[in-house]
């Protein structure tokens, strides 16, 4: 969830590290949201400032493409909000695919559930409400996950990362959102808990011999983390 509200282009949160004209160009040259996603964008916009938590359309396009490219059939999402990312992941899943969606808010995920029905992917999504750390700890020990997306409370990113690693298949991919945090990760004066947590997460991942990572300046920063064989 992109927890910022400034300078948003018409279809969703901007790429925070691009000028507005380039951000619009990137969005215009990525697969556009279809009517289902456009309706979800507008419904979320009507919710006020929390709209900034919705991922950008080009990020959603990337996630659908990546999910399909790695042949993912089992996915886990930590932080569902109103459902944009879950629609994109679910659409990329292979035949018989399943997405376990973790969130705390029944209010926000009620919007997501309507969007899943609208998109025709509701049968692929298993919504589990409650603290995500508890949900992940309760996953079946033999569950093998192909793709995971972390986009929830920043102070628990490392908790979610470790819990997910226990289930990831070799070659599976974990995506982590907001890893640049509007540039605050490199601001020495930024010492708030979220920024410190994201710095710790980023430092841990890049030094973790179990994975390889590419940090992309997409939206508010997206780390693509591949689990090594």
The CA radius of gyration of the chain, in Å to the nearest whole number, is: 16
> pTM surpassing 0.85?
yes
Choice between 89 and 6, residue whose per-residue pLDDT is larger: 89
- Does residue 160 form part of some domain? yes
Is 178 in a helix, a strand, or coil? coil
- Does residue 54 form part of some domain? yes
- Does residue 4 form part of some domain? no
- Does residue 12 form part of some domain? no
pLDDT, one tens digit per residue, over 9-24 is: 334 445 677 888 888 8
**What's 82's domain CATH number?**
3.40.50.150
Task: Provide the domain count of the chain.
Answer: 1
- Does residue 14 form part of some domain? no
- Does residue 106 form part of some domain? yes
Is 133 in a helix, a strand, or coil? helix
- Does residue 15 form part of some domain? no
pLDDT, one tens digit per residue, over 114-163 is: 999 999 999 999 999 999 999 999 999 999 999 999 999 999 999 999 99
């Amino acid at each position: 969830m992109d927890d910022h509200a400034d300078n948003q282009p018409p279809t969703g949160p901007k790429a925070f590290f691009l000028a507005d004209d380039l951000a619009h160009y990137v969005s215009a040259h990525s697969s556009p949201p279809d009517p289902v996603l456009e309706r979800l964008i507008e419904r979320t916009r009507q919710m006020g400032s929390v709209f900034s938590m919705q991922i950008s359309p080009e990020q959603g396009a990337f996630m659908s493409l990546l999910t399909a490219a790695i042949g993912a059939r089992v996915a886990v999402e930590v932080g569902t909000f109103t459902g944009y990312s879950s629609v994109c992941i679910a659409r990329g899943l292979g035949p018989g695919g399943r997405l376990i969606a973790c969130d705390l808010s029944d209010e926000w995920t009620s919007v997501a559930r309507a969007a899943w029905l609208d998109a025709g992917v509701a049968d692929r999504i298993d919504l589990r409400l409650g603290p995500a750390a508890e949900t992940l700890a309760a996953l079946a020990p033999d569950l093998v996950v192909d793709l995971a997306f972390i986009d929830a409370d920043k102070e628990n990113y490392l908790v979610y990362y470790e819990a997910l690693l226990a289930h990831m298949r070799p070659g599976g991919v974990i995506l982590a959102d907001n890893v640049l945090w509007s540039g605050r990760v490199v601001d020495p004066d930024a010492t708030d808990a979220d920024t410190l947590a994201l710095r710790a997460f980023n430092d841990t991942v890049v030094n973790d011999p179990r994975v390889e990572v590419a940090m992309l300046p997409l939206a508010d920063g997206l780390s693509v983390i591949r689990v090594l064989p």
